[in-house]
Structure 1
Amino acid sequence: MLVENIPNIFIPNSKSLPDLLIHDFRMTNDNVKSKVNLQMHMFSFLQIGKKQVHFAETSVAVDKTQSILTTKGNCLWTELLDTENSYYCKLFFFSEKVLKDFLKKHSSFSEEAQQENPFFIIENDDFISAFINSLSAIGNDQLQQNEALTKLKFEEILLYLSGKYGSAFIAFLQSLIKEKDSSFREVVERHVYSNLKVEEIAFLCNMSLSTFKRHFKEEFNASPGRWLMDKRLEKAKILIEQRDVKASDVYLEIGYNNLSNFSTAFKNKFGISPKEVS
């Protein structure tokens, strides 16, 4: 699967990324776990549909009642259509430079960067709706040509959200200009029970599949496919034993997409089917 460099693909003729960029993103087909190299921090003001994002550290899902602010870096995007068979969100990209300018201008924003998640969830309200409508009324072309106006709109939304969410949002903004470093083992262990494939976890680690496999062997002394399968099946056995539940109740929880495949793998490992666990 190709990696989409965003927002570069939205401005194909540009030699460099602007500090601020607004783009209307629409789809008429579901998009499942596409590999994205997000090169700027981004507001995603979701209007129609659902969105899920997998990061190295965690994952998050939002619907049209919410918007999301995400940090730059490698991630996996899933975008699902609404009942109207459409998907629409207004994207607002910004560089660390304009964020630093904003934080310097509003020097009272001095919260410590303790936010650990690579995203911040925003509950849509009347102001958010009015803000999105104002961007649409001005038009993306006009905003791209008028840097001062776009910067004003950027400051407007940050000031509003800082007032709405207080120190939690300010801490998140501060965290966006801090260097983040998750260890290889931490990233892998966070996704042990997800439904991500080995190559998708490798992408979140910013590694090629071959490099990931080599690092994995050095770190865990096993191949990633076998190690992940064993961990997931062992947890499934514990869940079935402790909760007295059926295989159909746990296979999705521990990272399998197919009940039949899970049951076969379970029997191959333990010599008994999930139904025979007492």
Structure 2
Amino acid sequence: MSIENIPEIFLSKDESVQDLIVYDFKMTSDVVKSKVNLSMNMFSFLQVGKKQVHFADAAVMVNREQSLLIRKGNWLWTELLDNDDIYYCKLLFFSEDRLKVFLAKHTKKEECLKDEDPFFVIENDFYIASYLDTLSKMSLMSSDFNAEMLSLKFDEIMFYLLTKYGQKFKLYLYSLISKENSPFKKIIERNVYSNLKLEEIAFLCNMSLSTFKRNFIAEYQVSPGKWLQDKRLQRAKEVLESEDLKASDIYIDFGYSNLSNFSIAFKNKFGISPTDISK
């Protein structure tokens, strides 16, 4: 699967990347785990459909009642239609420089004492709906007017969310200022029990699959495929032993596309079928 560079993919050939960009994103079919290189921080104001994003050490799912503020980076996006013929969200991209200008003018500097999530969930409300309506109307205005107006609209939504969410949102904004990415080992171990494939975890580490495998073996002295399989099968065995679940309930959660492959791998490792445990 190719990597989509966003927002660059939305720009025409003669357009350059600006500090603030608005884009209406629409689609008519589901997209699952699309590889995205997000080069700017981004508001995703979801209006129709559902959105799931896998980050290096977290995942989030929202519906039309919520929107997301997402940190720049390599992420996996799933976008789903929801009983409608279209998926629609309004995207507002902003550069780190533009964020720094806002923070310097309107807030006192905060030190983030802990790692903030790479996303912030926003509950949609009447004010946000009205805000998005004005953004839509701006497209009918001249480009010079739009640039000035968009700067004001960016400050407006930031002020509103600071008022709505207070210190929590303020700390999140400061966490968006560039610092070192999550360490390689941290990303691996936070996705041990996910259903992500090897190449998807490599992407979240911002590495090619071959580079990922090479670094993994240097760190763990074993191939990543075998290490992940052993860890996931051991965890699956613990789940079957301690919870009222069947193999058919959990195989997808541990990265297997069908029950047969899961059962074969399980029996090869433990000498018994997973159905023998869950009876």
Partner of 2:155: 155
Partner of 2:38: 38
Give 2:154's aligned amino acid: F
Pairing of 1:1-278 with structure 2 (within 5 A):
1-14=1-14, 16-108=16-108, 110-113=109-112, 114-139=114-139, 142=142, 146-277=146-277
| 1:221-266 C-alpha deviation (Å, 9 max, x unpaired) | 1111111111111001111112243212322333334222211211
Quote the offset at 1:103 in angstroms.
0.5
CA contact (8 A) 1:24 1:90 kept: yes
CA contact (8 A) 1:195 1:257 kept: no
Distance 1:241 1:144 in 2: 65
Quote the offset at 1:87 in angstroms.
0.2
Identity %: 58
Distance 2:134 2:36 in 1: 28
CA contact (8 A) 2:197 2:255 kept: no
Change beyond 3 A, Cα 1:115–1:169: farther
Q: What is the DSSP-based 3-state SS (H/G/I as helix, E as strand, rest coil) of the residue aligned with 1:179?
A: coil
Distance 1:264 1:74 in 2: 33
Quote the offset at 1:112 in angstroms.
2.8
Distance 2:141 2:9 in 1: 16
Change beyond 3 A, Cα 1:144–1:187: farther
CA contact (8 A) 2:52 2:62 kept: yes
Distance 2:157 2:266 in 1: 50
Quote the offset at 1:40 in angstroms.
0.4
Q: For structure 2, list consecutive stretches of 5 or more residues without a partner in the other structure.
A: none
Number of matched pairs: 277
Distance 2:139 2:213 in 1: 47
Give 1:121's aligned amino acid: V
CA contact (8 A) 2:139 2:146 kept: no
CA contact (8 A) 2:202 2:208 kept: yes
Q: For structure 1, list consecutive stretches of 5 or more residues without a partner in the other structure.
A: none
| 1:193-238 C-alpha deviation (Å, 9 max, x unpaired) | 1111111111111111111000011111111111111111100111
Distance 2:224 2:61 in 1: 26
Q: TM-score, normalised to structure 1's length?
A: 0.95
Distance 1:165 1:143 in 2: 32
Range with greater deviation from structure 2 (113-122 or 134-143): 134-143
| 1:33-88 C-alpha deviation (Å, 9 max, x unpaired) | 11111000000000011111111121111111000000001111110011112100
Q: TM-score, normalised to structure 2's length?
A: 0.94
Distance 2:229 2:140 in 1: 47
Distance 1:172 1:14 in 2: 34
